Amino acid sequence: FQQDLILELSNKLNGTSATSLTIKDMYHVAMQSISNDTNILTGNAVLDERALFSSSGMTGMLSTVQLIICAMIFGGSMQAMGALRKITQALLSIVSGPASLIGATVASAFGMNVLASDQYLAIVVPGKMFSEAYKEKGLAPENLSRSLEDGGTVTSVLIPWNTCGAYHSNVLTVDVFDYLPYAFFNIISPFMSIAVAALGYKIKYLVGGNKKQKTI
């Protein structure tokens, strides 16, 4: 508990002792730190220039929150009018086997990240659409879950207008296209999922209600 810091933030440092702190002062500082700008100077020119330890508080996040709300409304509207279902059905029309089904799932999840602009919709909507197709192909639900994660979860931060991409860019103060070339896992993961499916490695099947694991 650093009383001097609280005194400084509450503008009461001049001629005031730490023993004169009140609950009102501490509440004022807490609310001010949460809502408004908070700047911490480290003495390191690189860190101070990038403002890694500074924040604009809840007020500075309002633009990101607005983008998230708009993305959720847009995605919900697309789902309600059946546009997302049409896109997914078009992908299902080219499915011929387990490998192509997993590839279509990964592509659909990534496409939802781009079109619906929300990671939640990118996972839930394709998950609902493809669940019956996986059962018809005799594939265990673990395959669907893994494909949704590889195509939807890890790629959401690579889309600037996606809720995850906007949040990460705002918090890190780094543009999405600046950190994208270094996001090796996020870029490689969808391709690895498709490659592993094409090889038939670690694909789980449903057999008489039981699951068996097929390996090379």
Q: How far apart are CA 152 and CA 116, in angstroms?
A: 11
Range of the domain at 146: 61-214
In this prediction, residues 145-168 reach a mean pLDDT of 92
Q: How far apart are CA 107 and CA 6, in angstroms?
A: 51
| 11 and 104 fall within a common domain | no
What integer pLDDT is reported at residue 12 of this predicted model? 55
3-state secondary structure of 55: strand
What integer pLDDT is reported at residue 215 of this predicted model? 43
Bigger pLDDT: 125 or 215?
Answer: 125
Strand partners, 203: 214
Q: How confident is the prediction for the chain on average, in pLDDT?
A: 79
| 76 and 141 fall within a common domain | yes
| 97 and 108 fall within a common domain | yes
| 49 and 70 fall within a common domain | no
Last residue of a domain, one of 19, 45, 60: 60
Q: Are 191 and 107 in contact (CB under 8 A)?
A: no
| 167 and 75 fall within a common domain | yes
Last residue of a domain, one of 60, 84, 101: 60
Helix or strand (DSSP H, E) at 214: strand 210-214
- What's the structural domain count of the chain? 2
What's the first-to-final CA gap in the chain, in angstroms? 59
| 124 and 194 fall within a common domain | yes
Last residue of a domain, one of 60, 91, 110: 60
What integer pLDDT is reported at residue 6 of this predicted model? 61
DSSP class per residue in 137-182: TTB-HHHHHHHHIIIIITTGGG-TTSHHHHHHHHHHT--HHHHGGG
What integer pLDDT is reported at residue 155 of this predicted model? 95
Question: pLDDT tens digits, residue range 60-113?
Answer: 777 767 766 776 787 678 778 887 678 767 777 888 888 899 999 999 899 989
pTM (2 decimals)?
A: 0.64
| 181 and 110 fall within a common domain | yes
| 19 and 52 fall within a common domain | yes
Q: Are 112 and 126 in contact (CB under 8 A)?
A: yes
What integer pLDDT is reported at residue 10 of this predicted model? 57
| 159 and 70 fall within a common domain | yes
What residue type is 75 in one-letter code? G
What integer pLDDT is reported at residue 144 of this predicted model? 93
| 56 and 69 fall within a common domain | no
3-state secondary structure of 53: coil
| 10 and 86 fall within a common domain | no
